[in-house]
Every structure is written in structure tokens, then in C-alpha cells.
């Protein structure tokens, strides 16, 4: 990302300082919602998200979008996708239609209101749970394949690697004494990743950030939340983050079980297993750049204080070396029935 873009992000971060409780209440009142309780800030950094009780004695969540991150059309595509999932009885959280719309504007802010859905976090569990998760992702993808996004971005090398490394190359958060060591491994890793053409695989709508933290158990039902990173890409992007541990045999078994559930509802192209480690590399690099771009937002400095520490960047050099080694290994081979 260019320096100008980084400066723009910092300006956007600063604008959240003007999102006062009074302004939030006024914005909600403008769409006919009357909070009767205090605003409880939920665990969100990219946007600002608040839970409250309304005058109908029900709990709701108001999500105020980070300025300039998405266009209105891109946000509305996210809303449409979640509503399609609900219409097909796939558990997901979709925004409410208020005053005839799901996306609202108030004094320069854009926001949406959602029902508050209680539930407990999904913990890494046994293989039976992994098969169940596979079924739910399969159901999600069966709906996702029925249409395509027209405005939301694709998972791409340009955004996740090229732009991300450009941001890190000019970031003051990367210690000077580690700059050469970091790029001595980051650059060959980036060059190696260029050989993986994501467009050679079937492209579809995705949750985009499908990990256990974005799933809830409610009444023993698995529910998807937070579609803020929804985008287009290969199906494996919504599956690989469910694999845990460093043991290759164990991860192979996990993927077999995950796909056993998945393929009850959706076909899977076995060739996509070769994208697991490249996509993991994409995520590692992109995550560092995301934190660097958002560092002007005090919420990030409070939540991720270790990002500015020397030992974090020392560990990242090791992580990139390990990831480069992982890319040299053959991809996971699935059982013949797949």
C-alpha cells in the first residue's frame, strides 16, 4: 500500500473519536431504534460494534463501519449474502431492515443494526465437531455458489502480499535492526508465492475470514457471524483455518473429516489442497500489514501492544522461514474417496 493510503487509513481511524455515545444514540433514533440501556462495546477493532437493549426489551447490536474501507455497494453485497443464507436456513446473522434499508448514514458514519444472538464460542474439539463444522460450511457454500459478488474484492496476491509488503517496507514499527533480516526471507517467500495462480481455481463467494472465532454455538446450532471480510476466492479459503496443530498426519485426518461433512452439501476440488500453505502465507503477511496500517487507531495499540516490540518481529522472521519451508513440502493428499 502506498504512503498516501496509509495516511488515509490513519485519518479514518481518527474519525472514530467523534463517534460518541450521544452520536450513536442519535443515529439509532434516526432509524426508529431507542436504546434503553448503556452501549456495551463488543470485541471489534476494524469497526465499532455496540450491544444494547431497546425499548422492546430485546437486545440488538449496532455496527458502525470503518470509514472508506468498503463502498456502500460492497457493504450491501455483504448484507444480501447473509440474508440469502438465512432464507436458505443456513444459520447466519443478517442486518435488520429499518426505515426500508439495511445500511444507514448519519453525520458521515455508516451503520447497520443486527439482532443480538447469544451463544458460546466454538472450542477446538474432537473430529465429530469438525465434521459438523464441515457440514455447515458446505451448506454456506452451496448457497454462495448460486450467485457471484460484483463489487467485493477477490482474494489476491496483489492485496495480500504485494501491497502488504509495501506497507511493511515503510513502517516504522518494523525495527531498523531487523529490516534486512525480515525482507531477506519475506522477498523470496513472496516470489515463491507468485507461482500459485488462485484464478486457476473455481471462484465463489466466501465468508472470507472463516475461523472458530467467527462461529457461535447457540442451542447446539453452529452459527456464522461477522461477514465483514466476505469476498471471492477458492473454497479452501473458508476451510483451511479449521486445521490445527503442526503434525501433518493429524492435519490430513482433520481435513478428511472436515470434507466428509462438507461434501454432504457441496463438491470439493481436491486440487485446492495445494493452496493451503500459500493462503496461510497470505494471511500471515496481510495480518502484519493490517496492524501496521491501523496503528494510528488507539484501539489497536491497546489490543496489540506486542506488535511494537522487538521480540514480535524476531518471531515473525522465524515464522516466515518456517512458512517458506512448509511451501517446499508436497500438499496434503486426501483419501481416495475424495
Q: Are 143 and 90 a contacting pair, CB within 8 Å?
A: yes
Q: Which helix (H) or strand (E) holds 63?
A: strand 59-64
Q: Are 258 and 134 a contacting pair, CB within 8 Å?
A: yes
Does the annotation list 9 as a binding residue? no
Give the single-character DSSP code of 54.
Answer: B
Q: Is 226 a catalytic residue?
A: yes
Does the annotation list 47 as a binding residue? no
SS3 for 72-141 is: HHHHHHHHHHHHHHHHCCCCECCCCCECCECCEEECCEEEEEEECCCCEECCCCCHHHHHHHHHHHHHHH
**Would you state the cell numbers that stand for residue 214, as one nine-digit string?**
467467527
3-state helix, strand, coil in the chain (%, to 5): 50, 15, 35
Q: Are 33 and 60 a contacting pair, CB within 8 Å?
A: yes
Q: Is 209 a catalytic residue?
A: yes
Q: Which helix (H) or strand (E) holds 251?
A: helix 248-262
| Identified catalytic residue from 9, 13, 163, 226 | 226
**CA angle, residues 8, 184, 196, in degrees to nearest 5:** 75
Q: Strand pairing of 231-233 and 215-218?
A: unpaired
Closest by Cα among 279, 269, 126 to 198: 279
**Numbered residues of the known binding site for Mg(2+):** 214, 226
**Numbered residues of the known binding site:** 214, 226
Enumerate the active-site residues. Answer: 209, 226
Amino acid at each position: 500500500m502506498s504512503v498516501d493510503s496509509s495516511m488515509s487509513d490513519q485519518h479514518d481511524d481518527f474519525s472514530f473519536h467523534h463517534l460518541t455515545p450521544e452520536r450513536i444514540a442519535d443515529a439509532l433514533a434516526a432509524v426508529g431504534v431507542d436504546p434503553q440501556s448503556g452501549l456495551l462495546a463488543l470485541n471489534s477493532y476494524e469497526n465499532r460494534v455496540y450491544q444494547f437493549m431497546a425499548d422492546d426489551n430485546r437486545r440488538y447490536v449496532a455496527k458502525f463501519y470503518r470509514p472508506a474501507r468498503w463502498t456502500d455497494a460492497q457493504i450491501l453485497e455483504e448484507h444480501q449474502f447473509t440474508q440469502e443464507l438465512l432464507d436458505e436456513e443456513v444459520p447466519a446473522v443478517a442486518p435488520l431492515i429499518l426505515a426500508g434499508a439495511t445500511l444507514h448514514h448519519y453525520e458521515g458514519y455508516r451503520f447497520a443494526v443486527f439482532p443480538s444472538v447469544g451463544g458460546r464460542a466454538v472450542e477446538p474439539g474432537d473430529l465429530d465437531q469438525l465434521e459438523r463444522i464441515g457440514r455447515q460450511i458446505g451448506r454456506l457454500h452451496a448457497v454462495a455458489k448460486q450467485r457471484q459478488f460484483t463489487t467485493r474484492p477477490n482474494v489476491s496476491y496483489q492485496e495480500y502480499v504485494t501491497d502488504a509488503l509495501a506497507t511493511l517496507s515503510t513502517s516504522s514499527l518494523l525495527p531498523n535492526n531487523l529490516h534486512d533480516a525480515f525482507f531477506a526471507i519475506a522477498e523470496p517467500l513472496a516470489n515463491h508465492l507468485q507461482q500459485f495462480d488462485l484464478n486457476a481455481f473455481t471462484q465463489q463467494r466466501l465468508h472470507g475470514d472463516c475461523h472458530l472465532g467467527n462461529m457461535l454455538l447457540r442451542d447446539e446450532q453452529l452459527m456464522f457471524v461477522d461477514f465483514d471480510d466476505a469476498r471471492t476466492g477458492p473454497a479452501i479459503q473458508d476451510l483451511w483455518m479449521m486445521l490445527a496443530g503442526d503434525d501433518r498426519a493429524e492435519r490430513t485426518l482433520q481435513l478428511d473429516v472436515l470434507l466428509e461433512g462438507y461434501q454432504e452439501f457441496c463438491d470439493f476440488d481436491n486440487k485446492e489442497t495445494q493452496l493451503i500453505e500459500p493462503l496461510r502465507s497470505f494471511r500471515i503477511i496481510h495480518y502484519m500489514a493490517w496492524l501496521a496500517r491501523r496503528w494510528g487507531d488507539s484501539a489497536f495499540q491497546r489490543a496489540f501492544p506486542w506488535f511494537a516490540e522487538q521480540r514480535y518481529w524476531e518471531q515473525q522472521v522465524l515464522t516466515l522461514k518456517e512458512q517458506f519451508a512448509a511451501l517446499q513440502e508436497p500438499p496434503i493428499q486426501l483419501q481416495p474417496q475424495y
